[in-house]
């Protein structure tokens, strides 16, 4: 033993001494190249194969708190997301885990496991006592790990997986002379494993067809639950998966009805729209404190929540028309948002609900605001820290709401025609952009962004209403795909009526549900979803139902399954 | 127990009973009398830092006039004047777009750091180097960001993107927190918790073959990357169980408290200087040999406090001052970049290792996103290397080429760091020509 250790230490010293020679390269450059080549096709979706998705931070936290209670502290940094085809959710199907990220997830997992098995909490989750606290107890460990494991992995553990986890608990418990420390190590190890961190889907031959494959019951349950609730399947859904209920039309419809009727549907709808509208960028949004002293962190948080409440109210509570999001006068405000919108907001705080600072509000007919594009959330996110940007706003509208790609600016371009804001010749953004558009190579793209963004110029970088820039009255006229308007209300109406608006929503929500863009073989299905969406008055909840009750949602063609 | 590996059996043996205390450092690991080399004969290991800041320098104002030795830097690089003897300046190099569309500020960093303007998923140079020299340190590599965000331009593959740590207080804890073992401490006690964690990770790794057997090529690559990351942590824990070799210049860094993070240029500079100091101390203490730092993004949105405009906006929108011949505000920000780089270099230069300094065994690679931010040009992209990598590179040179691919510099640095690589880059940016003028 002593000899072995010394030899290893000598090896370390030798490696340090001649570091230029790679003694233990983890992967060769050739390995990396082949891995990259394999990954180069990511996102090119002419396949309908299932995608292995990494849990988002929201999903991770929700899964952990659903199992171990809302009081569990989840500290640490999650891996940054990657937006692919307009969605972070699609990006989760293209990423792995970097070394520093793995370290973070390991630390988060150990933090959670320590809380769960702390003397104060462990009795909530343990239904057995070890024979001795200072030694392993396989039977008791197995009982705990089996129950918790099924929730963490969203399916029962295989015999092999379970016995490995019991072995970990045994080995660690022996070494640390503590049953609970051993169990803690084993629990933490489950939460850094692929089966927990990634949503893996299993494919089996579909009943009654030779050429089709489909997801197994547990994979169906996860796909349903993460789409509709942005959470792992609950006990009832796992039981439905185990019993084969999800494989029958009647059984599936029953479970879909239950999920759509639940309050947690709101979580799913929020997560989808937060992703589609790029609200993750609120976390890094900052306005210059000198120029916009009123735009505090609270304003940003409330602005995001305002839009989310408007979405949930219109689409779920009222079962309204998706297009009305762009014209709706009804919204929700807090006193702090009221000060930004210059609207008096009195919260009527009923007894017992002092924390409810939100009040329903309807903009007056003559108010320039209508629709979510005029919310502080949209106009402040798509601005510079110190001033507005019609270009950024137009680009966001094209890309996020209409699913159209705006090309990157060209190389070797001369921008000098756009002077700084203090130039007396160009007082407004419109003046500056007009000057810029004299450059032929810029005009093409600016034409498809600026005219929409300019209609929102009444709203400053912090979202506050203004009528002039540098003393010059603003001209907010614009045009979208041939429809002219004079202000933000007109823009909202044009977006409402644009056929790309609803097509985009169907594309995004289907991609979100699948974790990838729809495949060529799914064109007919997507077309039918668009028709159903129109026929049902553009009700998002009905669209979600149409997606998850169609067998297409769970099927995989033979070539992909193999 | 069929999941056990030999290594785990070894650990079990080590742990049978109480923790082991190892009181004597290994003779092999003693430093020589000067403190700048290991007594066994080899020099202290090489270190590499990739230092990135977007928007470059104004063309015509950074390049030295003299080619070769004894050059003087251009006026916008004057902050680096004190370091010219240990710095190489590369001018006249470019990136070829071939048939790819210009991705305004995206093609440049990809070309400089990944060797390709068309494939943005290739590994970055810091990771290619870490694969060679990062496997026997606690951290394979460390990535940091100075503008409050986590984007850092470091990736190991298409699927493993390294987040930059934005917060120096958290970086401090990661390196010098409770898991740090002072290499100069007389006694060493392996932590039983660490032994158990290492053993469990090793047990997970044993399941790899089973987990990948049913996966398609795309997911297999992602799972492989996951296991590479798992092994990196396992490796770190193994190293924490060893008595580290003494390093005379290693001094535990003073505790770092939270500072305001953000895009105001003073905040970013303060964050940068803490990161610089922590990385230098980490390298002096043998914790890592590879780091990547991002001061600002390629579309650098740092700004003065109270200003409407960001650096990036100024590069495109500020009028050229007819008297000066360049954009005045842009010069302000490029000076900030040069000063920050000088402070970074000073942090390495101020760690003395016998007659030499940490900088002498390091190479710091400065790169940016283009040759002229105002026009998105990819011609004459500024690039610098500072430090000689234990004599692997000559320093104090200004190398000017007439439109050679800038990947030549990256290839040169990788070879100097010991990476076994004969050519680097894709399409017209592929090169097998190192910058021979600076190769020792």
- Identify the closest residue of chain B to A164 by CA–CA distance: B3
Q: Residue A250: is its pLDDT beyond 50? A: yes
Distance from CA of B286 to the nearest CA of A (A): 9
Q: How is B42-93 classified by DSSP, letter by letter?
A: PBPPPEEEEEE-TT---TTSSS-SS-BSS----GGGGGGGGGGGGEEEEES-
Residues A39, B320: C-beta atoms closer than 8 Å: no
B313 token code pair: 């906006």
* Cβ neighbours of A18 in B, within 8 Å: 42
Residue A287 to residues B150, B307, B308, B314, Cα–Cα distance (Å): 19, 10, 9, 17
Cα–Cα distance measured from residue B258 to residue B243, given in angstroms and rounded to the nearest whole number: 31
Cα–Cα distance measured from residue A393 to residue A191, given in angstroms and rounded to the nearest whole number: 40
**A64 closest CA partner among A237, A166, A188:** A188
B310 token code pair: 């960001």
Q: Residue A284: is its pLDDT beyond 90? A: no
B353 token code pair: 């290792």
Q: In chain A, pLDDT over 70 holds for what percent of residues?
A: 85
B264 in Cβ contact with B307 (< 8 Å): no
A152 in Cβ contact with A189 (< 8 Å): no
Residues B233, A106: C-beta atoms closer than 8 Å: yes
The reported pLDDT for the residue numbered A350 is 58
**B285 closest CA partner among B180, B372, B201, B144:** B180
Q: Residue B13: is its pLDDT beyond 50? A: no
Average pLDDT over residues B206-231: 85
| Dihedral, A55, A61, A63, A64 alpha carbons, nearest 10 | 130
Q: Residue B40: is its pLDDT beyond 60? A: no
Q: How is A264-277 classified by DSSP, letter by letter?
A: THHHHHHHHHHHHT
Band (pLDDT 50/70/90 cuts) for residue B219 is: confident
Residue A388 CB partners (closer than 8 Å, separation 6+): A379, A429, A456, A457, A459, A460, A461
Of the candidate ranges A185-189, A546-550, B40-44, B119-123, the one whose mean pLDDT is the lowest: B40-44
Task: Between B82 and A22, name the one with better pLDDT.
Answer: B82
Cα–Cα distance measured from residue B429 to residue B414, given in angstroms and rounded to the nearest whole number: 16
Point out the residue among B141, B229, B307 whose CB comes nearest to the CB of A97. Answer: B229
The reported pLDDT for the residue numbered A209 is 72
A539 in Cβ contact with A319 (< 8 Å): yes
Interface of B with A in 106-165 (CB under 8 A): 106-107, 119, 121-123, 128, 131-133, 135-136, 140-143, 148-151, 155-163, 165
Of the candidate ranges A161-165, A317-321, B204-208, B233-237, the one whose mean pLDDT is the lowest: B204-208
Is B239 in CB contact (< 8 Å) with chain A? Answer: yes
CA angle A111, A113, A115 (to 5 degrees): 70
B409 in Cβ contact with B381 (< 8 Å): no
Q: Return the bridge partners of B94, or none.
A: B405
Residues B157, A24: C-beta atoms closer than 8 Å: no
- Identify the closest residue of chain B to A78 by CA–CA distance: B163
**B426 closest CA partner among B128, B96, B115, B156:** B115
Point out the residue among A95, A185, A192 whose CB comes nearest to the CB of B159. Answer: A95
Domain boundaries, chain B: 1-23+189-242, 31-183+247-438
Beta strands in A426-511 (DSSP E): 468-469, 472-473, 478-480, 483-485
Residues B163, A418: C-beta atoms closer than 8 Å: no
Interface of B with A in 72-101 (CB under 8 A): 97, 101
* Cβ neighbours of A145 in B, within 8 Å: none
Of the candidate ranges A188-202, A335-349, A439-453, B112-126, the one whose mean pLDDT is the lowest: A439-453
Distance from CA of A313 to the nearest CA of B (A): 33
- Identify the closest residue of chain B to A198 by CA–CA distance: B223
Average pLDDT over residues B99-123: 86
Mutation target for B interface from A100, A162, A203, A423: give the one with most B CBs within 10 A: A100
CA angle B1, B5, B10 (to 5 degrees): 100
Distance from CA of A269 to the nearest CA of B (A): 27
Mutation target for B interface from A20, A428, A436: give the one with most B CBs within 10 A: A20
Is A425 in CB contact (< 8 Å) with chain B? Answer: no
Q: Which helix (H) or strand (E) holds B357?
A: strand B356-357
Q: How many Cβ contacts (< 8 angstroms) between chains A and B? A: 308
The reported pLDDT for the residue numbered A190 is 97
Q: Residue A19: is its pLDDT beyond 50? A: no
Is A22 in CB contact (< 8 Å) with chain B? Answer: yes
Task: Between A409 and B379, name the one with better pLDDT.
Answer: B379
Domain boundaries, chain A: 46-199, 274-497
Cα–Cα distance measured from residue A292 to residue A296, given in angstroms and rounded to the nearest whole number: 9
User: Diameter of chain A by CA atoms?
Assistant: 86
Q: Residue B142: is its pLDDT beyond 90? A: yes
Total length of chain A: 562
The reported pLDDT for the residue numbered B37 is 65
Mutation target for A interface from B25, B188, B229, B307: give the one with most A CBs within 10 A: B229
Mutation target for A interface from B29, B97, B239, B308: give the one with most A CBs within 10 A: B308
Interface of A with B in 97-126 (CB under 8 A): 97-103, 106
Distance from CA of B64 to the nearest CA of A (A): 24
* Cβ neighbours of B224 in A, within 8 Å: 27, 35
Is A211 in CB contact (< 8 Å) with chain B? Answer: no
Residues A414, B375: C-beta atoms closer than 8 Å: yes
DSSP assigned state of A246: G
Residues B161, A80: C-beta atoms closer than 8 Å: yes
- Identify the closest residue of chain B to A417 by CA–CA distance: B317
Q: Count H helices, E strands: chain B?
A: 11, 9
The reported pLDDT for the residue numbered B375 is 86
Cα–Cα distance measured from residue B46 to residue B43, given in angstroms and rounded to the nearest whole number: 8
Q: Residue A203: is its pLDDT beyond 80? A: yes
Point out the residue among B135, B161, B210 whose CB comes nearest to the CB of A98. Answer: B161
CA angle A322, A368, A474 (to 5 degrees): 125
Q: What share of chain A is helix, strand, coil (3-state, %, to 5)?
A: 55, 5, 40
Is A95 in CB contact (< 8 Å) with chain B? Answer: yes
The reported pLDDT for the residue numbered A485 is 95
- What three-state secondary structure class fits A480? strand
What's the CATH code, domain B31-183+247-438? 3.40.720
Cα–Cα distance measured from residue A428 to residue A449, given in angstroms and rounded to the nearest whole number: 17
Tokens 């990954």, residue located: A39
Q: How is A193-216 classified by DSSP, letter by letter?
A: SHHHHEE---EEEPTT-SSEEEE-
- State the SS3 of A41-78: CCCCCCCCCCCCEECCHHHHHHHHHHHHCCCCCCCCCC
Cα–Cα distance measured from residue A83 to residue B152, given in angstroms and rounded to the nearest whole number: 16
Task: Between A49 and B282, name the one with better pLDDT.
Answer: B282
Cα–Cα distance measured from residue B202 to residue B238, given in angstroms and rounded to the nearest whole number: 10
Q: What's the pLDDT tens digit per position in A373-394?
A: 999 999 999 998 778 999 999 9
Residue B308 to residues A287, A379, A458, B264, Cα–Cα distance (Å): 9, 16, 17, 11
Residues A17, B199: C-beta atoms closer than 8 Å: no
- Identify the closest residue of chain B to A16 by CA–CA distance: B45
Residues A385, B263: C-beta atoms closer than 8 Å: yes
The reported pLDDT for the residue numbered B125 is 98
Residue A438 CB partners (closer than 8 Å, separation 6+): A417
Distance from CA of B81 to the nearest CA of A (A): 30
DSSP assigned state of A552: G
Is B34 in CB contact (< 8 Å) with chain A? Answer: no
* Cβ neighbours of A26 in B, within 8 Å: 131, 135, 140, 228, 231-232
Residues A384, B309: C-beta atoms closer than 8 Å: yes
Q: Residue A50: is its pLDDT beyond 90? A: no
Cα–Cα distance measured from residue B385 to residue B50, given in angstroms and rounded to the nearest whole number: 9
Cα–Cα distance measured from residue B163 to residue B152, given in angstroms and rounded to the nearest whole number: 6
Residue A301 to residues A341, A506, B99, Cα–Cα distance (Å): 15, 28, 44
Q: What's the pLDDT tens digit per position in B165-196?
A: 999 999 999 999 999 999 999 899 999 999 99
Residues B306, A408: C-beta atoms closer than 8 Å: no
**A301 closest CA partner among A277, A325, A282:** A282
Distance from CA of A162 to the nearest CA of B (A): 12
């Amino acid at each position: 033993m002593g000899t072995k250790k010394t030899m290893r230490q000598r090896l370390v010293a030798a490696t340090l001494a001649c570091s230029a020679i790679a003694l233990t390269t983890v992967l060769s450059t050739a390995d990396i190249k082949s891995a990259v080549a394999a990954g180069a096709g990511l996102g090119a979706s002419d396949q309908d194969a299932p995608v292995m998705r990494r849990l988002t931070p929201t999903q991770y936290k929700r899964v952990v708190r659903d199992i171990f209670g809302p009081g569990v502290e989840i500290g640490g940094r999650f891996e940054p997301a990657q937006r692919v085809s307009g969605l972070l959710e699609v990006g989760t199907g293209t990423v792995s885990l970097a070394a520093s990220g793995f370290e973070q997830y390991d630390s988060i997992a150990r933090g959670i496991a320590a809380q769960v098995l702390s003397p104060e909490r462990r009795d909530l989750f343990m239904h057995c006592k070890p024979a001795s606290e200072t030694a392993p107890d396989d039977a008791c460990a197995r009982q705990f790990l089996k129950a918790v494991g099924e929730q963490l992995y969203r399916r029962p553990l295989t015999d092999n997986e379970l016995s490995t986890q019991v072995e970990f608990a045994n080995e660690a418990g022996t070494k640390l002379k503590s049953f609970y420390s051993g169990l803690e190590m084993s629990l933490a190890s489950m939460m850094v494993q692929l089966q927990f961190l990634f949503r893996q889907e299993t494919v089996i031959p579909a009943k009654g067809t030779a050429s089709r494959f489909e997801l197994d019951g547990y994979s169906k349950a996860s796909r349903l639950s993460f789409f509709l609730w942005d959470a792992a399947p609950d006990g009832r859904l796992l039981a439905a998966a185990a019993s084969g209920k999800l494989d029958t039309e009647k059984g599936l419809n029953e479970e879909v009805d239950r999920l759509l009727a639940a309050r947690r549907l709101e979580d799913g709808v929020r997560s989808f729209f937060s992703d589609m509208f790029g609200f993750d960028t609120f976390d890094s949004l900052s306005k210059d404190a000198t120029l916009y002293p009123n735009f505090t962190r609270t304003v940003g948080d409330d602005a995001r929540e305002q839009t989310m409440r408007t979405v949930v109210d219109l689409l779920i509570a009222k079962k309204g028309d998706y297009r009305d999001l762009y014209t709706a006068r009804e919204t929700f405000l807090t006193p702090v948002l009221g000060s930004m919108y210059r609207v008096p907001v009195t919260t009527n705080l009923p007894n017992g609900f002092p924390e409810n600072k939100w009040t329903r509000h309807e903009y007056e007919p003559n108010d320039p605001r209508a629709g979510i594009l005029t919310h502080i959330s949209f106009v402040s996110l798509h601005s510079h820290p110190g001033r507005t940007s019609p270009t950024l706003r137009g680009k966001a509208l094209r890309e996020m709401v209409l699913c159209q790609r705006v090309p990157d600016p060209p190389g070797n371009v001369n921008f000098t025609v756009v002077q700084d804001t203090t130039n007396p010749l160009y007082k407004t953004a419109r003046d500056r952009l007009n000057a810029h558009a004299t450059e032929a190579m810029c005009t093409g793209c600016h034409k498809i962004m600026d005219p929409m963004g300019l209609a929102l110029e009444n709203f400053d970088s912090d979202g506050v209403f203004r009528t002039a820039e540098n003393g010059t009255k603003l001209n907010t006229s614009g045009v979208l795909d041939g429809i002219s308007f004079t202000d933000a209300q007109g823009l909202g109406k044009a977006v409402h009526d644009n056929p790309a608006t609803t097509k985009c929503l169907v594309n995004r929500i289907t991609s979100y549900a699948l974790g990838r863009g729809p495949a060529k073989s799914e064109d007919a299905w997507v077309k039918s979803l668009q028709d159903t969406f129109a026929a049902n008055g553009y009700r998002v909840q009905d669209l979600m139902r149409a997606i998850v009750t169609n067998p297409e949602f769970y099927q995989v063609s033979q070539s992909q399954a193999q | 127990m069929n999941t056990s590996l030999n290594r785990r059996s070894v650990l079990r043996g080590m742990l049978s009973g109480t923790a082991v205390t190892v009181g004597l450092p290994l003779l092999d690991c003693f430093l020589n009398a000067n403190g700048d080399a290991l007594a066994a004969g080899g020099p202290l290991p090489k270190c590499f830092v990739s230092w990135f800041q977007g928007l470059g320098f104004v063309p015509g104002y950074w390049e030295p006039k003299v080619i070769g030795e004894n050059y003087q830097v251009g006026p916008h690089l004057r902050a680096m004047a004190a370091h010219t003897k240990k710095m190489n300046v590369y001018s006249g190099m470019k990136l070829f777009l071939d048939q790819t569309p210009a991705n305004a500020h995206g093609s440049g960093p990809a070309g400089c750091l990944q060797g390709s303007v068309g494939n943005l998923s290739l590994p970055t140079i810091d990771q290619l180097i870490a694969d060679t020299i990062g496997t026997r340190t606690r951290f394979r590599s460390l990535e940091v960001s100075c503008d409050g965000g986590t984007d850092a331009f470091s990736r190991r593959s298409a699927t493993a993107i390294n987040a930059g740590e934005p917060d120096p207080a958290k970086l401090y804890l990661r390196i010098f927190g409770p898991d740090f073992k002072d290499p100069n401490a007389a006694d060493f006690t392996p932590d039983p918790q660490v032994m158990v964690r290492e053993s469990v990770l090793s047990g997970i790794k044993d399941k790899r073959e089973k987990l990948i057997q049913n996966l398609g090529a795309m997911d297999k690559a992602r799972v492989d990357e996951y296991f590479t990351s798992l092994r990196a942590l396992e490796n770190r824990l193994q190293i924490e169980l060893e008595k580290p070799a003494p390093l005379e210049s290693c001094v535990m860094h003073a505790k770092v408290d939270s500072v305001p993070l953000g895009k105001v240029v003073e905040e970013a500079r303060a964050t940068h200087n803490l990161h610089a100091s922590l990385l230098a101390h980490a390298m002096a203490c043998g914790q890592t040999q590879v780091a990547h730092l991002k001061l600002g993004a390629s579309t650098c949105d740092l700004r003065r406090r109270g200003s409407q405009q960001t650096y990036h906006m100024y590069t495109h929108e500020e009028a050229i001052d007819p008297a000066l011949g360049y954009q005045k505000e842009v010069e302000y920000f490029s000076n900030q970049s040069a000063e920050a780089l000088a402070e970074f270099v000073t942090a390495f230069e101020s760690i003395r290792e016998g007659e030499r300094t940490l900088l002498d065994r390091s190479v710091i690679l400065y790169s940016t996103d283009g040759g002229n931010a105002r026009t998105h040009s990819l011609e004459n992209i500024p690039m610098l290397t500072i430090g000689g990598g234990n004599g692997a590179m000559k320093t104090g040179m200004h190398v000017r080429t007439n439109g050679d691919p800038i990947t030549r510099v990256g290839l040169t640095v990788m070879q100097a760091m010991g990476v076994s690589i004969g050519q680097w880059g894709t399409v017209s940016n592929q090169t097998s020509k190192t910058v021979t003028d600076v190769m020792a």
